[in-house]
Amino acid sequence: MSDPKCIFCRIIAADIPTKKVYEDDHVFAFEDTNPQAPTHVLIIPKKHFAGLKEAEAGDAELIGRCHLAAAQIARERKIEQGYRTVLNVGPGAGQSVFHLHVHLLGGRPLTWPPG
């Protein structure tokens, strides 16, 4: 369920301090340590799995819950005019932490395509 070597599992367990934004039975959200926008929150499932590539059918609800939590946070922060949810999948896309996470970015104009 959790991996003691995973930095995000250690954040959920409060072994590593973080600025918590949201938590329920399935999902945990916290401020990104290297924010790329005024709102940059990471939303993660409490269950450890490496990323979208490694997700299984049984993880579908968890992935949906992460996105619904992102929408709720965006609503609370009043950034609904335009925000982005991003999953970096694999090192070639910039994934550096191998515990699935949804980036919620907003609070500034977001250009397309992303780099």
Q: Would you call 101 a catalytic residue per the annotation?
A: yes
Nearest C-alpha neighbor of 66 from the set 81, 47, 83:
47
Q: Is 49 in the site for ligand DGP (CB under 6 A)?
A: no
State the nearest-atom distance from the C-beta of 13 to ligand DGP, in Å: 13
**Chain-centre distance for alpha carbon 93:** 15
The residue range among 27-35, 55-63, 68-76, 107-115 that interacts with ligand DGP, by the rule CB under 6 A, is 27-35
Task: Compute the distance between CA of residue 62 and CA of residue 12 in angstroms, rounded to an integer.
Answer: 15
Nearest C-alpha neighbor of 114 from the set 51, 45, 37:
37
- Applying CB under 6 A, among 9, 95, 104, 105 the residue interacting with ligand DGP is 95
Known catalytic residues are 101
Which residues contact ligand DGP (rule: CB under 6 A)? 7, 16, 18, 30-34, 42, 88, 94-97
